[in-house]
Amino acid sequence: MSLDTLAAERREPTAHPSTSAKPSLIGMDRAALAAALGAIGVPQRQQKMRSAQLWHWLYLRGAASFDAMSNVGRDLRQALAEHYSILRPEIVSEQISVDGTRKWLFRFPPEGAGRPVEVETVYIPEEGRGTLCVSSQVGCTLTCRFCHTGTQRLVRNLTAGEIVAQIIAARERIGDFPDLATPEGAIVPAEGRLVSNIVMMGMGEPLYNFDNVREALRIASDGEGLSLSKRRITLSTSGVVPEIARTGSEIGCMLAISLHAVRDELRDELVPINKKWPIAELLQACRNYPGLSNARRITFEYVMLKGVNDSLAEARELVRLLKGIPAKINLIPFNPWPGSAYECSDWDQIELFAEVVNRAGYASPIRTPRGRDIFAACGQLKSASERLTRRERETQGLVEAGA
Ligand code: SAH
Ligand code: SF4
């Protein structure tokens, strides 16, 4: 698809600018909601019931204001609105690809003394399902050579609230919440939900923001709220080996590994975290992944780079390496971005590569590039957010001048 056929619709910054400094309830679990209620004088004996009501409105119904919470008394609604917000990011832009993929640039208010930050979130509608690609960090500390996000320095980790807010804001924009006007107690239909799957494959390395990602995914998978099954949540990592076991035991979602090369020498270059945790250690962590079984396979992502990692000898080596690991192999045609140094493999070569992998008994879907025309495809995400300059940090007292 030609990159200049831009079928995008840009929006003026509008929606719900959340500039208030009030703490947001989005991202809080039940205990934190109860504590927030306690802090505004709700007696302890009511906190459990009230926090369950808040949970229902925030995460199941997608209420955007306290006013909508019809079974919460007016006085309490007022007190809540005085002290708290329901974080919605500002929608800086919304682009819609010719293939229906949507990409949003969301802006979140500053955390502490920082600047507002912007992240991208992508919605990919498919036959019978819809996948939301969610960001975990603004920028990335890692510098994978083929990835656009890798050219943006890490600005900061997203909070659990900002990760959950991407899901809520996206569902709100595509009309994927039950109508607030429906009778109280209506539940999200299990069938026909527009966002059925979540992939932590947006900007950033989720395992370098483990605690916030875990918290956000616990909320996203809670059956009384956003209700996304853990089997439909996939976390992709470049290979942060020490956090892989915890991903299985503490989050329990599906795992994807950005492998991309079968020799350490090449992987050191493409995915530099390999110098710290080389292929053998990474695959050992995969073999030990809690919950791994034929029904819960690990996805190995392999970006197809012309003349770099796409030979049939490499396909055979890939199969050899993964022996004994219940695995799927996802071949990703390289998505170019301005200034990228690689080319996508020829289609014939990708098919031959897939055939070798297939013949060895692995499912090896070739991921159809989606949303390339709006730079929404894998590895094309980047936002203009930058870290504060040293001078700005000095003037805001974040570092000592001259230190
Ligand atoms: N940081 C995590 C998750 C985000 S990247 C990780 O690296 O796994 C999501 C996937 O897109 C990863 O497999 C990544 O390697 C891949 N990717 C990055 N840049 C790409 C590009 N230009 N074309 C195709 N895939 C790319
Ligand atoms: Fe970061 Fe993943 Fe991109 Fe590597 S591929 S730079 S880990 S976002």
Residue 242 DSSP label: G
* CB distance 114 to ligand 1 below 6 Å: no
Write the residue with the smallest CA distance to atom 4 of ligand 2.
144
Burial 28-62 (b: 16+ CB within 10 A, else e): bebeebbebbeeeebeeeebeebbebbbbbbbbbb
Spell out which residues line ligand 2, taking CB within 6 angstroms.
140, 142-144, 147, 149-150, 204-205, 238, 258
Q: Which residues are catalytic?
A: 120, 378
At 182 the pLDDT is: 57
Give the chain's domain count: 2
Which atom from ligand 1 is nearest to the alpha carbon of 142?
1
Q: In Å, how far are 32, 168, 181, 296, 354 from 359, measured between CA atoms?
A: 51, 41, 53, 21, 8
Which sign, positive or negative, has the C-alpha torsion 32, 38, 40, 45? positive
DSSP state string for 74-127: HHHHHHHHHH-B----EEEEEEE-TTS-EEEEEEEPPSTTS--EEEEEEEEEET
Report how far residue 76's alpha carbon sits from residue 245's, in angstroms, rounded to the nearest whole number.
42
Q: Ligand 2: which of 144, 268, 332 to mutate, most ligand atoms within 8 Å of CB?
A: 144
CATH number of the CATH domain containing 320: 3.20.20.70
Q: Cβ distance 114 to 388 under 8 Å?
A: yes
Lowest mean pLDDT among 77-81, 170-174, 214-218, 267-271: 170-174
Per-residue pLDDT reduced to its tens digit, 291-316: 999 999 999 999 999 999 999 999 99
Same-domain status, 57 and 94 = no
Structure tokens at 229: 């099954």
**pLDDT surpasses 60 at 252:** yes
The phi and psi torsions of 362 (rounded to 5 degrees) equal -100, 140
Question: What is the average per-residue pLDDT within 211-215?
Answer: 98
Where does a domain end: 47, 68, 83?
83
Specify if 38 maps to a domain.
Answer: yes
Last residue of a domain, one of 58, 83, 108: 83
Q: Evaluate: CB of 279 within 6 angstroms of ligand 1.
A: no
Ligand sitting nearest the alpha carbon of 149: 2
The pLDDT, as a whole number, for residue 369 is 81
Q: Which residues pair with 197 in a beta bridge?
A: 131
Structural domain includes residue 336: yes
pLDDT at 36: 97
Residue 135 alpha carbon to ligand 2 centre in Å: 11
| Per-residue pLDDT reduced to its tens digit, 321-379 | 999 999 999 999 999 888 899 999 999 999 999 999 999 999 888 888 888 888 877 77
Q: Closest-lying ligand to the alpha carbon of 236?
A: 1
Co-location of 180 and 199 in the same domain: yes
Q: Which residue has the higher pLDDT, 386 or 73?
A: 73
DSSP output for 342-392: --BPPHHHHHHHHHHHHHTT---PBPPP-SGGGT-STT-------PPPHHH
Tell me which residue range forms the domain holding 100: 90-395
Residue 306's alpha-carbon distances to 71, 116, 324, in angstroms, are 59, 38, 28
335 lines ligand 1 (CB under 6 A): yes
Q: Is residue 22 part of a domain?
A: no
Question: Mean pLDDT over all residues of the chain?
Answer: 88
Ligand closest to 342 (CA) is 1
Q: Ligand 2 mean position to 262 CA, how many Å?
A: 18
Residue type, 158: L
Determine which residue's CA is closest to atom 3 belonging to ligand 1: 201
